[in-house]
Amino acid sequence: MKTVILFGASSAIAQSYVNHLNQQATQFNIICVSSSNIEHNDDKVTYFYSDYSAQSLNELTQSLKSQQIELAQVIIFNGQLHNDQHMPEKKLEEINSDYFMQLMHSNTLVPLLCLQSIVPLLNHKTHCAITALSARVGSINDNKLGGWYTYRASKSALNMLFKTAAIELARRAKNTKLVLFHPGTTDTQLSKPFQKNVPADKLFTPDFVAQQLFKFTYENPQLELNGEPAYLDWQGNTIKW
């Protein structure tokens, strides 16, 4: 049975993704990793608590290695946009070092550590897509409005790290594909403060995003094994770096 690992599994999109997987004709071994306690009654899903420390992720790696799983997909849903004290900056004077470091940790370092924890499960025989939720605002080419310094920087850094990792994995696990996915504005707590001016047809439900995510990242024949990460939006269109 093919295994799917979901990091940041307490997010609304991740929970919708679990439901979507369970609706497929193919049966999946679903492993959900989260720093939150998730209430569940699904015997098809294994939940693993992790605070994303080195020790915790190493325990996850060792547990997965002992199970000799057939890894097919990994999705990293971890991310943060704002907190109780800070919102995305509109001007330089609003940059705050604590907020900057917090988002760089949540949006950049944690996804990289999640990827690191999966590497021991990969080899040249492994056919696997590893996806992290990025954002269009992480594109340097697409930046026409400015602002949102910290969030942009954290997603741009994530993109660069996945670009670098893709080069390495082409040598170590040639059938593994890295993907960066922009889900669009989704009706979740992360986007609540910014939904006011979003057209109704551009505010997506977590269920819709989960469907698009599955469509474009799971066994998508258009994902070339070329040593490059794919940078896609919710329509499957390539985003310029």
> What confidence score (pLDDT) does residue 178 get?
98
Please check whether residue 240 lies inside any domain of the structure: no
164 within a domain of the structure (yes/no): yes
> Would you say residue 238 lies in a domain?
no
Nearest-angstrom CA–CA distance, 60 and 30: 14
Determine the average pLDDT of the residues in 82-94.
95
CA distances from 161 to 115, 145, 190, 216 (A): 10, 24, 23, 21
Are 51 and 26 spatial neighbours (Cβ–Cβ below 8 Å)? Answer: no
How far from 50 is each of 53, 73, 127, 189, CA to CA, in Å?
A: 7, 19, 25, 21
Please tell me the predicted confidence (pLDDT) of residue 202. Answer: 80
239 found inside a domain: no
Confidence of residue 203 (pLDDT cuts 50, 70, 90): confident
C-beta neighbour count of 117 within 10 angstroms: 24
Is the pLDDT reported for residue 199 higher than 80? no
* Residue at 241 is within a domain: no
Considering the domain boundaries, does residue 64 fall inside one? yes
CA–CA dist 120, 214 (Å, integer): 24
Is residue 192 a part of any domain in this protein? yes
| Cα 193 from chain centre | 21
What's the domain range around 24? Answer: 2-233
Q: What average pLDDT does the structure give for the chain?
A: 94
pLDDT at 57: 98
Residues making up the chain, counted from first to last: 241
Overall domain count for the chain: 1
Q: Identify the band that residue 198 occupies on the pLDDT scale cut at 50, 70 and 90.
A: confident
Q: In which band, very low, low, confident or very high, does the pLDDT at 17 lie, cut at 50, 70 and 90?
A: very high
Quick: pLDDT tens for 31-63.
999 998 877 677 789 999 999 999 999 999 999
Residue 131 lies in a domain: yes
Q: Does 162 score more than 80 pLDDT?
A: yes
- Token representation of residue 127: 């056919």
CATH number of the domain encompassing residue 61:
3.40.50.720
